Structure 1
């Protein structure tokens, strides 16, 4: 039999790896993840934007209807009245464009005033990218906004777009540490270089770790990434094979790190006559549901009339899966037979599914909360 010295020797050999594993892969980030990010150009944002979007979404729902039972319809309507926007991102990048410095300076200060009112549970800005032509403008906007805010509010995050190198992520982390230790940022993956670097490696994985724990999310940019890959405009979509490949790489890179994933958006908006709205809603429902099935629990919305289908897809997804998930988790906890040979990792996934359903309002606390607490 091996003696204690051998155990100690192997522990010593692996001590550095044990510490690195715990540091690099701390597990899921605690707390609620928003179902969506609403992204609006800075000059279009007002303090009452969430309530205006909620009212517009309710009007679309009342006018055109959705094919769901009364309970789900009432649940969606209640959400639109009380919390129509979960995550608001004030956009200073593509949606805003290039303005005179004095104009963007003033807009940054005005945005700070809006953010100070806590218009949504989660909020932030999308700054311009760190490429040379826009880098100084990006830094100045963030600096002015945080100075006007007087600090980093709870739930605030900055989106760094068009990331093309690990060095840009390192620079963003250095900027965050200089501006405020509480500042966190998201990495928007919308360039081909972030998925496959010049050395043939997936740079997004290195980006996650280069952030030094300050990156909270990876957000997929549907149209910039598709265009970078040479996909024709009328074929650019969230479910294109190129998009699926990019998001699969992102998913593996983020797994276990505490960095969350967000899918992109569809630019086919539910506007026009009833047929056009229903067609856009059917597309949005399918795409959001598809993202959920693939483990993307967040996405981007660009128009108030996309909110009914955002919440409808999420509520239907969690409500449909909850009974079986609860039965399997209960059986695993009680060492009973469920008809499934579930393992600890699957039990954690079942509990995580129910937890998300509770956090987003799709599920009632009973009987699910007790199971999640036990797990």
Structure 2
């Protein structure tokens, strides 16, 4: 058919125009609800420390303690790989990268806890701790020692602790502003959400704070912890997670699964409360579907089995943690919570092995897709998006270097961002 040859049609232009007009509201709603990946770096984990334990040296102390655990219980790559079952070909590069990460940036996301990890204290004591946390966080961002993401977990919106939680958040945010402003890496966590109205209350609170200080509307976002049965299935029998996201009016940044509170609320006995329990998998599957395409990230929870004591006990805890992290990664939960410094070596080992073991295959498939070279796998745009997202996550956490990604794919960082659908490059 010639380039300028016309083809026959049957429908009048008005039909197309009428359909476009009828779907205009749907188009706008899709764009609002499902904006896609926010284009920012997602931390691979969250570390939380009680408000009264947090100090200016917390991040460095966690890194040093993690390195000390390696030195004592797995002093070289062969020993570490043997404990965790890392393939021989990856043992040395993974071990070297884990040690380098612990020296350079041991904690990617730090949450100063004023909820369960802190408990109920006299008001004057919690006031002082919140003000102190703000001063320390501001100083850490000024001198470059802060974790890339840092913030607090406040008490929830339930009646018994609501006023205390609001006051702590107010003191913390006010202190940050007085010390120079809200850092770009600020993260706030709202726990134990049961009703969308509690999320609405958080939005109202942050909106009022922004207006008081002349901040742009929507400047302050927050995470929602999914740790009650009501946050997954409401009293009316309707799924709740999507309603929580909607109630946040664009402010929710991520959903974090709370292993032990959620398990307990389902009646799971203490010995069986774990990330891989069927009740946990159900809750996280609901979270995953509700968050898909919205730009809201997902985080798995934690294990309370700590790598402490004799070497055999540490190795057992490491194997458990490493396996759980790998399981989460395979299920597209790219973040989780770590409870102890000695969890950091296995967190990074699992993450780095995950991204390095599939690096060459993912890069080759992506290069073939871009070059339209064919091969034994025919990938579609959605798969190319996933492949580039995989490489970008590996770059963000330090598992992969930009030079080797470029060598294997022939693509720049900007190319990868574009294929992944990221609006802006990662910082």
TM-score relative to the length of structure 2? 0.86
The correspondence for 1:62, drawn from 71, 91, 96, is 71
TM superposition shift of 1:179: 1.2
- Would you say 1:134 and 2:171 are equivalent positions? no
- Give the SS at the match of 2:231: helix
Q: Is the 8 A contact 1:288 1:310 kept in 2?
A: yes
Counterpart of 1:312? 349
Counterpart of 2:372? 335
TM superposition shift of 1:70: 2.2
Counterpart of 1:255? 292
The correspondence for 1:13, drawn from 22, 26, 40, is 22
User: Which runs of 5 or more structure 2 residues have no equivalent in the other structure?
Assistant: 1-9, 75-79, 211-216, 420-427
Distance 2:308 2:267 in 1: 28
Counterpart of 2:102? 80
User: Which runs of 5 or more structure 1 residues have no equivalent in the other structure?
Assistant: none
Counterpart of 1:288? 325
- Give the SS at the match of 1:124: strand
Deviation digits for residues 183-239 of structure 1 (CA, Å, limit 9, x no counterpart): 110000000001000111111111111101100000000000000000010000000
RMSD: 1.0
Distance 2:316 2:168 in 1: 39
Q: Is the 8 A contact 1:327 1:338 kept in 2?
A: no
More off after superposition, 186-195 vs 199-208: 199-208
TM superposition shift of 1:341: 1.8
Bigger RCO (CA 8 Å, 6+ sep): 2
The correspondence for 2:112, drawn from 67, 87, 90, is 90
Question: Rg: which structure is higher?
Answer: 2
- Give the SS at the match of 2:68: helix
- Would you say 1:45 and 2:45 are equivalent positions? no
Distance 1:197 1:16 in 2: 28
Alignment of 1:206-225 (within 5 A): 206-225=243-262
The correspondence for 1:112, drawn from 121, 134, 145, is 134
Number of positions where the alignment pairs a residue of Structure 1 with one of Structure 2: 375
TM superposition shift of 1:339: 0.9
Q: Is the 8 A contact 1:87 1:121 kept in 2?
A: yes
Distance 1:315 1:73 in 2: 9
Q: Is the 8 A contact 1:218 1:250 kept in 2?
A: yes
- Give the SS at the match of 1:133: coil
Distance 1:32 1:338 in 2: 32
Deviation digits for residues 281-300 of structure 1 (CA, Å, limit 9, x no counterpart): 00000000000000000000
Distance 1:237 1:167 in 2: 29
Distance 1:202 1:322 in 2: 37
- Would you say 1:243 and 2:280 are equivalent positions? yes
Counterpart of 2:170? 143
TM superposition shift of 1:115: 1.0
Counterpart of 1:165? 195
- Give the SS at the match of 2:52: helix
Distance 2:273 2:308 in 1: 20
Counterpart of 2:392? 355
TM-score relative to the length of structure 1? 0.98
